Amino acid sequence: MPNVLISINTGFIMSKESFISFFTANNSVIIAAILIIIIPLSLFFYLQQETESSIKNSIFEQQKQNQIDASKAIATHIQSDIQLIQSRLQSLVTSHTIRDGDFTSNVTKNLLKEYYVTINSTTPVDRLFLYNKDSISVLDMSSPGTLNFTGMDFSFRDWVNQTKNTLSPVISDMFLGIDGKNRIAMTYPIVISNTSGLFYNGLVGVVIPTDEFFNFYGNIHDIQSQYLSVLDNESIVLVHPLPSLVGRPFFGEHTQNLTGNNNILNNLIKTVISGYPATVIYDFVNGERLNSGHPVFIEGVPKYSVFVVTPTSFIYSTINNIIEKERLQMLSLIIGIIAAVLLLILYLNRVNKTLDKAVRKRTIELQDANTKLELANQHIKVHDDMQKEFINMAAHELRNPVQSLLGFSDILKKLNHRNGDNKIAHQYKDAIEAISRSSRRLKRLVDIIFDVSQLDNNLLTLNKESFDLKNIMKEVLNKYQNQKKLADNKNNGQEDDIDRSNKQIIDFDYSNYPNDSKTINGDKMYLCQVITNLIDNAIEFTQNEGKVRINIDKTSDESKAIVTISDNGYGIHPDILPHLFTKYVKKSRGGAGLSLYISKRIIEAHGGEIWAKNNDDGKGATFGFSLPLYDQLDFNKSK
């Protein structure tokens, strides 16, 4: 027994010594393993905090930008829908039955019913109505089962009297209907004209329920998530998830008490109501808010202010969910890497092969992605080429039909003048003039499309010649002066062929013409087109009895001629100014947004520059361009 015990103890002692020997021999490996565990985990937790902070800021800014874009898109959509209703009301007023005072016939009833269905197909309206000059409802189109107000006197409504007094379209303030629902009215006057002037003969209009209208664009009921609030230009709250705020002025005592007289929020409201978009973050009674506001412009004036409001807790909740997933993924990745390193520390070669395989796989994926991008770019280029080809073909194919329309309309006008006393000729006089006017407009549009096609395909050919810039400016201005004379003759009862769409005649000031010649070498026709485009643009945004000033000068080194065309109109909207000379950019409802783009390309083809700016006094804008002056030595030789 003792021998056995001695043998056992001796064995135990040898095993312990062997373990110590093993530990000593592998001490560096164990230390390396510990460092492999501790260092990556320490770096992970340190870098994770830094990364999470950066990710949070990045995602928040992304959410903020998305909200800004959403508020702008909603405001643009509302503006478009309101303008569409206005245009349809205008079209209804200009129909021959209503214009002739036929308010009760079946033809008029069917016409209103058709327009009611058309308007409701895009915008929810309660009713479409027609009032006579005494503000009595003559026709009232609404959904089956709703109240009908035919025969009722609506002279008590402010918006009815405003339409009657101003003879202009009106968008009313929000009012409380008979059924207790908040509504907005949009009206268009029926105006008759005779030798004594303009007379009010009634109106057509629609009534829009504010909740149904604005709910189409976003959530207006749940304040716990992202919601929509809308104010008018008097700061009256039109829609809001809190019913107690609706119909009250935002800067009133009730609303200010509820918001805690929040200066940041108040400044935001003032900024947007004045016509400028803005975004702020502020503390509210039940949490922090991200608020993005954007104005809705009607006829160039901010009519409504749209606010998209999101509790930041809602945003942070989304961010935290993303961070948690990212954290788990990263931690799992770190642990996996540590485990792999610890387990495969003696098999580095195999790890290298695995990494090489992963790199090759990623390289193939990137190559595939690049191939797909190249194919996508090729498809885009093909699509762009097809679009240019289509526009070019359309411009060419439309020219002959348009010329035929112009020719036949001129023949009809001449026949109509010869048979002026004929009853039938008199009956179709306006229709013939409308055909002629529309044909001329269509020809202008086709010419513009053709010019754009030529420019985009680099097919513009300049027939250059030497001429005095001052002379072609006079030729262009003579055309406008002749138009004014024709318009004056028309007012005196004389017939003319002036385009009736030119409703205003502007006085031109060209007293700043220099005495010396400004000789240039260029295409006279195209430069006349540029000058005409800029003058037409000035006329479009200048009120009646406005002033357009023409100035010709030269640079200090006398190398270029400078032409400026200034007006005292509305000026250029700040959102439009940076993109003014690009295609399809415009602020007005008319035109195709191409004339300034064409002008820029023509001037640049002549080696010049074109620009635009708002006037320093805040009234109107100035467009200008420069052209290289003709070499004086060559000019003297030619003389």
Q: Is the pLDDT of residue 591 over 60?
A: no
Alpha carbon distance 108, 110 (integer Å): 5
CA distance 403 to 409: 10
Instruction: Return the pLDDT at 240.
Output: 92
Write the DSSP string, 121-143.
TTS--SEEEEEETTSBEEEEEE-
Residues 6+ apart with CB under 8 A from 106: none
Answer yes or no: are the C-beta atoms of 625 and 632 closer than 8 Å: no
Please, what is the average pLDDT of the chain?
A: 79
Higher pLDDT, 290 or 375: 290
For the record, the structure tokens of 482 come out as 């002749």
- Which of 568, 466, 483, 479 lies closest to 517, judged by CA? 466
- Does position 501 have pLDDT exceeding 60, yes or no? no
The rounded percent of the chain whose pLDDT value lies above 90 is 29
Residues spanned by CATH 3.30.565.10 within the chain?
A: 460-638
Structure tokens at 20: 């110590």
Which pLDDT score is estimated for 58?
Answer: 80
CA–CA distance, 167 with 201 (Å, rounded to integer):
10
In angstroms, the CA 308 to CA 293 distance is 6
Q: pLDDT band at 441, cuts 50/70/90?
A: low
CB 565 within 8 A of CB 548: yes
pLDDT at 348: 72
Reported confidence tier of residue 292, pLDDT bands at 50, 70, 90: very high
Q: Which of 52-56, 211-215, 386-390, 592-596 has maximum average pLDDT?
A: 211-215
Q: Coil, helix or strand for 293?
A: strand
**Comparing C-alpha atoms, which of 156, 146, 114, 150 is closest to residue 130?**
150
**Cβ neighbours, 10 Å, residue 85:** 20
To the question of domain 366-457 being in CATH 1.10.287, the answer is yes
Secondary structure of 181-221 as H, E, C letters:
CEEEEEEEEEEEEECCEEEEEEEEEEEEEHHHHHHCCCCCC
Question: At 478, phi and psi to the nearest 5?
Answer: -60, -35
The whole-angstrom separation of Cα 613 and Cα 621 is 6
Q: Which homologous superfamily is 78-320 in?
A: PAS domain (3.30.450.20)
What would the mean pLDDT of 396-424 be, rounded to a whole number? 66
pLDDT at 21 over 80: no
Q: Which residues contact 388 (CB under 8 A, 6 or more apart)?
A: 453, 456, 457
Q: For residue 464, is pLDDT > 80?
A: yes
Beta bridge mates, 539: none
pLDDT category of residue 140 using cuts at 50, 70 and 90: very high
Of the candidates 38, 47, 592, 93, the residue with the CA atom closest to the CA atom of residue 338: 38
Q: What is the rounded distance in angstroms from the CA atom of residue 99 to the CA atom of residue 7?
A: 126
Q: What is the DSSP string of 496-512?
A: ----TT-----EEEEEE
For 322-378, the pLDDT digits (tens) are: 777 776 776 677 777 767 766 766 677 677 778 878 898 888 988 888 888 888 888
| Higher-confidence position of 346 and 615 | 615
530-537 average pLDDT score: 88
Average pLDDT over every residue of 595-620: 89
Alpha-carbon span 622 to 613, nearest angstrom:
6
- Structure confidence at residue 85 as a pLDDT band (50, 70, 90): very high
Residues of each domain in the chain carrying CATH 3.30.450.20? 78-320
Confidence at residue 444, expressed as pLDDT on a 0 to 100 scale? 67
Q: What is the DSSP track for 219-288?
A: --S-TTS-EEEEEETT-BEEE-SSGGGTTSBTTSHHHHHHHT--HHHHHHHHHHHTT--EEEEEEETTEE
Q: Do 198 and 191 meet the contact criterion of CB atoms below 8 Å apart?
A: yes
Contacts (Cβ under 8 Å, ≥6 apart) of 443: 402, 403, 406
| Residue 280 burial (CB count, 10 A) | 16
- What value does the mean pLDDT take over residues 56-81? 89
Pair 131, 201: CB distance under 8 Å: no
* Helix (H), strand (E) at residue 552: strand 547-554
pLDDT score, position 143? 86
pLDDT at 4 over 60: no
Q: Based on the number of CB atoms within 10 Å of its own CB, is 45 exposed (0-12), middle (13-18) or buried (19 or more)? A: exposed
- Range of weakest confidence among 322-326, 367-371, 450-454, 464-468: 450-454
Query: Is the confidence at residue 236, as pLDDT, over 70?
Result: yes
Task: Measure the CA angle with vertex 469, ends 465 and 473; round to 5°.
Answer: 120
Note the pLDDT of residue 268: 93
Residue-level pLDDT at 556: 77
Examine the pLDDT at 277 and tell me if it is beyond 90: yes
pLDDT band, residue 401 (cuts 50/70/90): confident
- Name the pLDDT band for 418 (thresholds 50, 70, 90): low
Provide CATH code, domain 460-638. Answer: 3.30.565.10
Compute the average pLDDT of residues 11-26. Answer: 49
Q: Residue 581: pLDDT above 90?
A: no
Task: Give the whole-angstrom CA distance, residue 135 versus residue 151.
Answer: 10
In which band, very low, low, confident or very high, does the pLDDT at 476 lie, cut at 50, 70 and 90? confident
Instruction: Give the model's confidence band at 423: pLDDT under 50 very low, under 70 low, under 90 confident, else very high.
Output: low
Angle between helical axes of 312-343 and 27-93 (0-180°, round to 10): 150
Averaged pLDDT for residues 612-616: 91
Q: How many CB atoms lie within 10 A of CB 638?
A: 9
More confident residue, 341 or 304: 304
Say if residue 3's pLDDT is above 50.
Answer: no
- Say if residue 155 is exposed, middle or buried (CB neighbours under 10 Å; 0-12, 13-18, 19+): exposed
- Residue-wise burial string across 19-33, b where 16 or more C-beta atoms lie within 10 A, e elsewhere: eeeeeeeeeeeeeee
Name the segment(s) of the chain with CATH classification 1.10.287: 366-457
- Position 315 scores a pLDDT of 80
What is the mean predicted confidence (pLDDT) over 575-601?
A: 75
With a cut of 50, say whether residue 500 has pLDDT above it: no
pLDDT score recorded for residue 203:
95
The reply to whether the predicted model has a pTM over 0.75 is no
CA 523 remoteness from chain centre: 35
Q: Output 419 or 193, whichever has higher pLDDT.
A: 193
Res 587 pLDDT > 70:
no
